[in-house]
Amino acid sequence: AEHQHVRYNPLRDDWVLVSAHRVKRPWQGQLEKPPPEDVPRWDPNNPLCPGATRANGEVNPQYEGTFVFPNDFPALQPDAPEPDDSDHPLFQAAPARGVCKVMCFHPWSDLTLPLMSLPEIRAVIDAWAELATELGASYPWVQIFENKGAMMGCSNPHPHCQVWASSFLPNEARLEDRTQRQHLSQHGVPMLLEYAEQEARRKERLVVENADWLVVVPYWATWPYQTLLLPRRHVCRLQDLSDSERDNLASIMQRLLIKYDNLFEVSFPYSMGWHGAPTGPSLEEDCRHWQLHAHYYPPLLRSATVRKFMVGYEMLAQAQRDLTPEQAAERLRSLPEVHYKKRAE
């Protein structure tokens, strides 16, 4: 806890430098603005609100639950042309096609997932699984991700996520496919299933758990309060979850996200996303090496206004963190599971 060391990340086949003593250094760097607390419940100028007009002129329906629509500024399009042939191996390009969708979690802009009810969160999970099935029928990778908070690039104060389906396996998916395949081949058990069993037994990095899920600050965490959400049984894809697993997923997500908000008593920013077995052609292949999981990457380090920057050594050498995963897990674990905004109710 007091001396620097490096830890191996078997999922990414790389290392992270842990320098726990550095969190004690004085900070005179950039201070972030806390997110606004006075977000209006409905704003006609917010393109994600029910009845609002989006940039392309389309008017949103008066939706009352989740709402999915094509991204008006997609990074991937289904009919993109083939790139020109390369005349040199150092200048390669390949086709990239796909679709991008936006999914609103709730009609109210002043809510976030930790403040939503369990049935409302369960509806989000069901919508995720539906999109994963629909888009995964033809695309090899479906990336569900949420950028929460302006600090993480969220452009609209409204509870929502994005879903990008691509004709190729992105870098992170390729890497996790390789490492998990190697682990199963060498050890005879899926890597993250074995890892979840180890963390459930050791408990030193455990944040929350229930009958079907556990959340840990991973042994190899890079971001200060990074967490990994894991199922207890072997399951390859989000759409493979049972009813009870989806209910318990809604519960454990709510508990984790309430703890995140309670840490600095602020709407906690993060980027999160689901990783599961590839789809499309891979639906007919053996994907037993895969284990479904979700990554949460929050940037805040010391307070609501001081974030961790991935610069300098992190960009040019390797990832480095300023407190141990065990310290981060203990702090998250000790936080109450009643949201700070509801304590006076």
**Which range among 16-25, 82-91, 192-201, 228-237 shows the weakest confidence by mean pLDDT?**
16-25
Can you tell me the mean pLDDT for 68-82? Answer: 95
pLDDT-based confidence at residue 207 (cuts at 50, 70, 90): very high
- The 3-class secondary structure across the chain, one letter per residue, is CCCCEEEEECCCCEEEEECHHHHHCCCCCCCCCCCCCCCCCCCCCCCCCCCCECCCCCECCCCCCCEEEECCCCCCCCCCCCCCCCCCCCCCCCCCCEEEEEEECCCCCCCCHHHCCHHHHHHHHHHHHHHHHHHHCCCCEEEEEEEECHHHCCCCCCCEEEEEEECCCCHHHHHHHHHHHHHHHHHCCCHHHHHHHHHHHHCCCEEEECCCEEEECCCCCCCCCCEEEEECCCCCCHHHCCHHHHHHHHHHHHHHHHHHHHHHCCCCCEEEEEECCCCHHHHHCCCCCCCCEEEEECCECCCCCCECCCCCHHHHCCEEECCCHHHHHHHHHCCCCCCHHHCCC
Domains belonging to the chain, first-starting first, are 38-80+94-337 (3.30.428.10)
Model confidence, pTM: 0.95
Kindly state the percentage of the chain with pLDDT values over 90.
85
Q: Which residues are annotated as a binding site for UDP-alpha-D-glucose?
A: 22-25, 55, 71-72, 147, 153-155, 162, 308-309, 313-314, 320
Can you give the pLDDT at residue 152?
75
For the question of residue 160 being annotated catalytic, the response is yes
Catalytic residue among 158, 160, 289, 339: 160
Mean pLDDT of 221-240: 98
Mark the binding-site residues, compressed into ranges. Answer: 22-25, 55, 71-72, 147, 153-155, 162, 176, 275, 293, 295, 308-309, 313-314, 320
Percent of the chain exceeding pLDDT 70 equals 95
Residue 25 confidence (pLDDT) above 80: no
What is the reported pLDDT for 27? 46
